[in-house]
Every structure is written in C-alpha cells, then in structure tokens.
Amino acid sequence: MSIRTLALRSGETSAEDHRLLIGSLLGAADDPWPLHRRGGLMYASGAADLSGFGMTATIRPFSAAVTGRSSPLQGSYLVVSTEDVDIRLEDGPTSGSRTDVVGVVVKDDLYDDSDEVLAEIRVIDPEEDETYLPLFEIIVSQGASTGTDGISWPSQPGASLPSNIRDLRDYTSSAGGVVSVPSVSARNRMDDVRDGTIVHVGATRDLYIRDAGDWRPVAGPAADAALDNRYEPLGVPKILFGREYITPDTQANNAVYSTAYWRGQARVDFPEGYFRETPTIMLTVLSAVPGTVMEATHANSRVHGFDLMVARTNTTSNWVHWLAVGT
C-alpha cells in the first residue's frame, strides 16, 4: 500500500504504519531514501549518562528514536528507558584487550529473521544486530574482572569519562525542531545531518545551522566571534578564560613517583571562530592543601579547544582556572 494514514475509522493500521507515520514527525536523515529519519536520543540533562562498578555498566533513563536498518520501509522505533539499566560485561580477554559497544538494540523478526521482537540495552553484536543505537564504547583490558577491580568508570553519572570509554551518544529532534546537544563534541558526532538542521550547544550557548555540509554559527558567542573576526586586523591578541571543576578519579602509577596517584580530565571547547591559530594555554590549580596537586597540564590543543588534565595524591576535586591567549 503506497498511501498510509492513522486514525481513519474505516482503515486498518499496522505496526509498520505506526512507525512510518510517527517517524514522519522526526527530523529527516541525509539519506537517499526519503522515508529515513534521524535516529538518536531526545536530549535531556542526564539522558543515558553512564556509571559503573566492577564489570557492570549502568545507563540512566532516556528517550530515543532507533531507525530500522533491515528494510527501507521499517520505520523508526521510539524507545523509552524509565529506570537505570545494568549491563554486565564479560571478563577481559586472556591476552590483549576487547572493545565493547553498549547501546539500544531492537529486534523485529518480521524484518531481521531473528525470531525475536524486543528492545533492550546491552552490548551490541554488529554481526547479528541490524537495528541499534550505540551509546558508549568501552575498552575492556586484559584479565579485567570483578576480582581485579574491573573496569575504570566515571566517578558518577555525568562525570568526565576515563580514557578507556568513548561517548557515542547521538541526538535527534522533531522535524523542524532544534536539536539540543550538551557539547561541541556531541554535535560533531552527529551523522546523517541534512542542510538546514539547527543545533543548540548547551556548553557554549551557541546556535548553529548545517550549511553545505558544515556547521555555521548563527547566534551566541561563536557567531559573535566570527563577526568580530571580519573586522579585527590580523595579529591582534585575543584572550579567553574560564574554569573547570575536576575530580581525579582514575588511579595511575609512574616510575617517577613512589606511590600511586590519581588523574582527572575535562574537555574545554572554545567558541568556534574565536581563534584563527592554536592559542597559548596557561593553567592555575586551586588547592588549599600544599603538595597534594602534582601537576596540571593540557594536551590536544587546537583552535577549537584543549584537554585539561590534573594529577593529585588523592581524589579531592578542585577548580582549575585556564587562560587562552592567541589570534
């Protein structure tokens, strides 16, 4: 049937009709098939935040749209997780490491011949699963198990992710609506984005529109900086400053130090267009106890931002003030 509709008294509506028609309210994907919708989380503070203990990951509640990938007529599945979900990861391999991707998996036997009809949060099997929405990539080190302290997890839901975990969360919205994302990194993870899509980045208070495959700032600090750069002469220094609250939650060892220490990190994003060249970064750590802060440093400095890292002899949280000077 080529024409489908909901709520006709004389009509019969299938589950496929519901998915296609409800999915038409979602934003379209940059896809040659016109019925495909952009899958992703519906952004809310704390949506699908990760925490964990031992070998168990915990995913906080969320709402999401998962695009069916077994058939172009499959439509989108709306999924709501109403409580924390625990996922037990298998112990680490006897040699090398393993990468697990945790996400939302939808099985629908009518399309994927799986003999199952369900939605669940678990480790994704890309060889068997066709319709899924990835959330986090987790590196499981050799021999990791509950008896060996398991996996390094964030100190609490929403805290900075340790280096063994990568955020894969993507976001969507209703058709014509603004896609809200927490950070520039989250915006850059978005795929299947059509020109005209509007995104608001919460961390920087910037509004962007997708234009010719790029993100163009239209309101907020990034748009103001882009406008300022049109009139500022080259070579005039510009200053940007801020502060980050960091919890050293990852234990580490180094031959230089006789005891174990703890590291914490955060990503700092500059307004897009503010700097033309990579700026000089200066850091100051606020600590009331002398000797507990071992170092504060930065890495991956670019015109768009940098990674800030702190090492301490304990796990006490502290503020780090930063100053960026450049052109």
pLDDT beyond 80 at 272: no
Residue 56's pLDDT is 94
Is 21 in contact with 8 (CB distance < 8 Å)?
no
pLDDT band at 232 (very low <50, low <70, confident <90, very high): low
Say which residue the tokens 């398991």 belong to.
Answer: 150
pLDDT in tens, 21-41: 887 778 777 777 777 888 999
* Mean pLDDT across 226-243: 71
Structure tokens at 300: 């991956």
pLDDT in tens, 141-169: 998 988 788 899 998 998 889 989 999 99
Residue 256's pLDDT is 58
pLDDT in tens, 89-148: 999 999 989 999 999 999 999 999 999 999 999 999 999 999 999 999 999 999 898 878
Tally of CA atoms within 13 A in the half-sphere of 247 that contains its CB? 11
Residue 87's pLDDT is 95
* Residue 102 main-chain phi, psi, to 5 deg: -95, 135
Q: Mean of the per-residue pLDDT values for the chain? A: 87
Q: How many angstroms separate the CA atoms of 63 and 80, rounded?
A: 4
* Mean pLDDT across 55-78: 91
**Global pTM value:** 0.67
pLDDT band at 6 (very low <50, low <70, confident <90, very high): confident
* Mean pLDDT across 248-255: 75
**What is the side-by-side strand order in the sheet with 56-59?**
50-53, 56-59, 85-88
pLDDT band at 230 (very low <50, low <70, confident <90, very high): low
Smallest CA-to-CA distance from 263 within 248, 246, 242 is with 248
CB contact set of 309 (below 8 Å; sequence gap of 6+)? 263, 264, 265, 296, 297, 298, 299
CATH level 3 topology of 238-326: Immunoglobulin-like (2.60.40)
Is 175 in contact with 192 (CB distance < 8 Å)?
no
pLDDT band at 235 (very low <50, low <70, confident <90, very high): low
In single-letter form, the type of residue at position 245 comes to: Y
Q: How many angstroms separate the CA atoms of 310 and 318, rounded?
A: 9
* Residue 122 main-chain phi, psi, to 5 deg: -165, -175
Locate CATH 2.60.40.2080 in the chain. Answer: 238-326
Say which residue the tokens 């033309």 belong to.
Answer: 276
Q: How far apart are the first and last CA of the chain?
A: 60
* Mean pLDDT across 237-262: 79
